[in-house]
Amino acid sequence: MYLTLSVQKTNYYMKFNFFKSISIIISVIFTSSCLTTQDPAALSSDASVTSLTFSKMDSIHYLETASFSLVDNLIVNLDSLPYKTRIDSVYPNFKFASTGAAFLVNIAKNDSIQLTGKDTVDFTNNYRLRNYAADLVAYKDYFIKVNVHQVEPELYNWRKLTESLASANNQKMIARNDSLHYFTNDGTTTLLTSSVNGSSWTSPIIVSGLPASVAFSDIIINGGKFFLTQNNEKIYSSYNGIIWTSNSLVNYTFKSLLFSLNDSLHAILQSKIDDKIRFSSSKNGLTWITKSTDVIPTNFPTSDFTALSFKSRSGKPKAIVIGGMSATNVVLKTNWSTEDGSYWLDFSRLNHSLDTLALGSALISYDSKLLLFGKKVDGSNHYKVSVDEGLTWQIPSKTLNYIPVDYQTLIEKSAAVIDDKTNPVVTDKANRIFIIGKKTSGSTVSDVWTGKLNRKGFTRQ
């Protein structure tokens, strides 16, 4: 049974103690079914409740229409009312299959309200509803619970997980199979440590099969497998991140990997025959499809860009590539979007709200939005949000209702993470954001923070 919440106002308040007042007995005998819009059969014995509507009297937040459910003998709104909604002065309107008299009993105080249709009730208290059927003999009892969110749903809750994770000038964290994998390289040795919660990490394991001074800027996951390239003809892959193997192209060299989209790897390759740089794709990292017409635009980045594949609000796979260096070593202020890796839109030609970024920003998809962590070219912190899949960008602020981000907290927790150009911000399937970065410039240890939008922790959305 679903009961609909509506909005009305009243100034009446009536309170009775039917345990002590003889007037209740009189009203039970003579009161007609004024609490229902239906005319039940004469002397009906059906005392069931059929609906409940009520409204705020004076609430900080607008009380949106909500649905109540009947669970056994409990009347409850499974979807909580908005944070800080006042329910201390509410006008309830109950409807019953039939009624001769109905009462709300304050369980803590053991006193009651006889319902007249003109009452205000403080639903911060627990109540039992008793309705006598039209025959004045049969009755039913119900309990009432009005849920209100106890935390601000649109705030991010941040906490530090550890402050002693070993760091290096070249590092990268990547999420796979509900685990975090953290790669570091000091110029000679690559180490991998993993965690399922961001707090406890495995002992570092020496990685084999990669170049001594490997860079992690374009490491991506495709089909559950790690892939990366190093600006040459080789592509490296690994199932566990520890043991890597390499394969080489014949007529092309890799400029960089872009992302995984539609179950395929997407990369930028340069031909050894005509020197053209083209978009290319592969299902397995071994066989690559490169069309002669897929030459990249002159203002498309080939290194140091920020790339992300994600699903649009409609569930369609998309990818975005932001900033970076062109093939002629020009710092770009571009913002490219694609659905297939071949046809691209340059959003920066349509909108200029992104600004010029320093190299190595981080980008995640979260709560149907894109969150950008980075720095401007002048070194200042740069945090922006896009609610339209990368076309326009705004500074996240509580003053912008459609961008519900705790901006100051975001800055405090991520201010030191971007210097390494390794995109150290990831998300997992539990809707957690993980940020990793050095505590101070030149530090050999890193902090790990996690954040989550409060609403993402609710059982019902």
Give the pLDDT score at 63. 54
Residue 333 has pLDDT above 80, yes or no: yes
Tens-digit pLDDT profile for residues 180-230: 999 989 889 999 999 999 899 999 999 999 999 998 888 999 999 999 998
Nearest in space to 102 (alpha carbons), one of 122, 121, 117: 117
H or E segment to which residue 24 belongs:
helix 22-30
Q: pLDDT category, 4, cuts 50, 70, 90?
A: very low
Q: pLDDT category, 460, cuts 50, 70, 90?
A: low
Strands 74-76 and 139-145: what pairing?
A: parallel
Q: Quote the pTM value.
A: 0.74
Residue 270 has pLDDT above 90, yes or no: yes
Give the pLDDT score at 161. 87
Q: pLDDT category, 58, cuts 50, 70, 90?
A: low
Give the pLDDT score at 20. 39
210 near 446, Cβ under 8 Å? no
Tens-digit pLDDT profile for residues 349-380: 888 777 666 666 788 899 889 988 776 666 66
Tens-digit pLDDT profile for residues 227-263: 999 888 999 999 999 999 999 999 999 999 999 999 9
Residue bearing the bigger pLDDT, 100 or 459: 100
The mean pLDDT value for 72-99 works out to 87
Nearest in space to 141 (alpha carbons), one of 105, 177, 175, 87: 105
Q: pLDDT category, 435, cuts 50, 70, 90?
A: confident
Q: pLDDT category, 86, cuts 50, 70, 90?
A: confident
Do 2-145 and 156-457 have matching folds? no
Give the pLDDT score at 454. 84
Residue 145 has pLDDT above 80, yes or no: yes
Give domain limits for the chain. 2-145, 156-457
Judging by beta carbons within 10 Å of its beta carbon (0-12, 13-18, 19+), is residue 404 exposed, middle or buried? buried
- The DSSP symbol for 249 reads -
Nearest in space to 268 (alpha carbons), one of 287, 281, 285: 281
Q: In what order do the strands lie in the sheet with 317-322?
A: 306-311, 317-322, 335-338, 344-346
Residue 40 has pLDDT above 80, yes or no: no
Residue bearing the bigger pLDDT, 62 or 74: 74
Helices (H) and strands (E) in the chain, counts: 3, 31
Q: In what order do the strands lie in the sheet with 139-145?
A: 2-4, 67-71, 74-76, 139-145, 127-132, 101-106, 111-114
The CA R_g of the chain, rounded to the nearest whole Å, is 31
The mean pLDDT value for 82-102 works out to 87
Share of the chain above pLDDT 90, in %: 41
Give the pLDDT score at 357. 66
The SS3 assignment for 148 reads: strand
Distance (Å) of CA 136 to CA 102, 133, 424: 10, 5, 69
User: Which residues contact residue 72 at a Cβ distance below 8 angstroms, ignoring those fewer than 6 apart?
Assistant: none
Q: Alpha-carbon distance 389 to 411, whole Å?
A: 22
H or E segment to which residue 28 belongs:
helix 22-30
Residue 173 has pLDDT above 90, yes or no: no
Q: What is the mean pLDDT of the chain?
A: 81
Any idea of the CA torsion for 297, 298, 299, 304, to the nearest 10 degrees? 100
- The DSSP symbol for 401 reads T
Give the pLDDT score at 11. 32
Share of the chain above pLDDT 70, in %: 77
Q: pLDDT category, 420, cuts 50, 70, 90?
A: very low
User: Which residues contact residue 394 at a Cβ distance below 8 angstroms, ignoring those fewer than 6 apart?
Assistant: 353, 384, 385, 386, 387, 400, 403
Give the pLDDT score at 373. 79
**Got the DSSP string for 83-125?**
TT---SSBEEEEEESS-SEEEEEETTTTEEEE--S---B-TTS
168 near 182, Cβ under 8 Å? no
Least confident of 140-149, 245-254, 290-299, 361-370: 361-370
Q: pLDDT category, 1, cuts 50, 70, 90?
A: very low
CATH number of 2-145: 2.60.40
Q: pLDDT category, 402, cuts 50, 70, 90?
A: very low
Q: What CATH class does 156-457 carry?
A: mainly beta
